Amino acid sequence: MMKATTGLMSVGRAAELISAGKYLNIAGDEEALKQLPKGNWIGGTIPYFMADDGGVISRDRVFVNEIEVFGAAPSIRLLDVDSLPQICRNAPENGYTILVVPAFGPCHSSFAENAPNYEEMYMKPLIGWVAGVHLDDLGQRTPKVALGTTGELSDQHAVVIDVPLPAEKFARIDIVNLFKPGRGAAITFENTGFAAGDCRLGGQPANLADYLLAGKIDTRLPLVADYCGAAINVSIKAIDAAAKRVEFYAPVFPGVEYRIAEPLADYVSAFQSALPRIEGSITFSCNCILNFLYSELAGKRTGHITGPITFGEIAYQLLNQTLVYLTIEG
């Protein structure tokens, strides 16, 4: 089988792949996606990428992941907020699903808060990313997803591609998260939410905004929780000192113990050290816009892993400041 085509490319080259009948995941600026012909692709808006030669911002090129077909054809569809909870149940018995969700829309918040309780969650591989916009366009344009089969763009729906695999192959999803829980007090919350004020610090009632401000804590550092050995981040979006509330890029959950992450001296060198040896090729991967910005990744490479730089990463559930990737084994 020929090696799948993956990388940052011109709209014209992507159009050729679409016309050849390839199944594709495509990330690009809205105007670039609009130029693509109809075909077997899903997409989302974002102009930030990790390309072969390093981090780059481009409005006229798109990042393409070709999806290898092993027999049965993948299926592509839009999901609304009501059908999103069925995503894992409807996924192939053996295979994987790529999900693209537009940031700030109803699917984004619903997925973020409820995905861990979806039927069949964690039983079937689910990976994906959150579409965004150029930061200069915030407030002027909305992030969107694209259904290639019709050319429809939507800021209200999510888009998925279900990829069946033969019995001898299986999909594996993993993450690279450089952040580790720091030595500060354990932070817990009473409720699920994208914002919080009241919390418990080391078991005592406290206010998170007060804690961050009083300690002059670098809010580029995420809250990190230990999920049975997986460090899972919740990134801090803003502190409203007057309202004594902290906004996040992903929800915090009750029953989970968070700590402010240990600072990172150099993301790129730490990434190189943390990068696992990956057998075979990566079918899909993406990294976080916050890593791109905070670690100034423009022009810098993160090993051989390339892909869109996104407003959120999905490895089963919504993640922040984390690289996610999927490989096919067997």
Question: Residue 173 burial by CB count (10 A; 0-12/13-18/19+): exposed, middle or buried?
Answer: middle
Residue with smaller CB distance to other proteins, 117 or 204: 117
- Over its C-alpha atoms, the chain yields an Rg (Å, rounded) of 19
Q: Which of 230, 238, 241, 243 binds other proteins (CB under 8 A)?
A: 230
Q: Are 244 and 210 in contact (CB under 8 A)?
A: yes
Question: Cα separation of 243 and 190, whole Å?
Answer: 18
Query: Does 83 contact other proteins by CB under 8 A?
Result: yes
Residue 131 tokens, joined: 């579409």
- Stretch of residues binding other proteins (CB under 8 A), selected from 33-41, 54-62, 212-220, 313-321: 313-321
Question: Cα separation of 260 and 13, whole Å?
Answer: 44
Query: Does 89 contact other proteins by CB under 8 A?
Result: yes
Closest CA to 95 of 129, 111, 71, 130: 71
Strand partners, 61: 10
Q: How many residues bind other proteins (CB under 8 A)?
A: 27
Q: How many residues does the chain have?
A: 330
Query: Does 86 contact other proteins by CB under 8 A?
Result: yes
Centre a 10 Å sphere on the Cβ of residue 223 and count the other Cβ atoms it contains. 27
- Stretch of residues binding other proteins (CB under 8 A), selected from 112-120, 198-206, 215-223, 297-305: 112-120
- Stretch of residues binding other proteins (CB under 8 A), selected from 6-14, 24-32, 224-232, 234-242: 224-232
In the complex, the smallest distance separating the C-beta of residue 230 from other proteins, rounded to whole angstroms, is 4
Q: Which of 242, 255, 273, 299 binds other proteins (CB under 8 A)?
A: 255
In the complex, the smallest distance separating the C-beta of residue 135 from other proteins, rounded to whole angstroms, is 30
How far is residue 274 from each of residues 140, 181, 271, 295, measured CA to CA in Å? 37, 16, 5, 15
Query: Does 315 contact other proteins by CB under 8 A?
Result: yes
In the complex, the smallest distance separating the C-beta of residue 82 from other proteins, rounded to whole angstroms, is 6
For residues 153-192, which are near other proteins according to CB under 8 A?
170, 172-175
Binding site for other proteins (CB under 8 A): 82-83, 86, 89-90, 116-117, 119, 122-123, 125, 170, 172-175, 227-230, 255-256, 315-317, 329-330
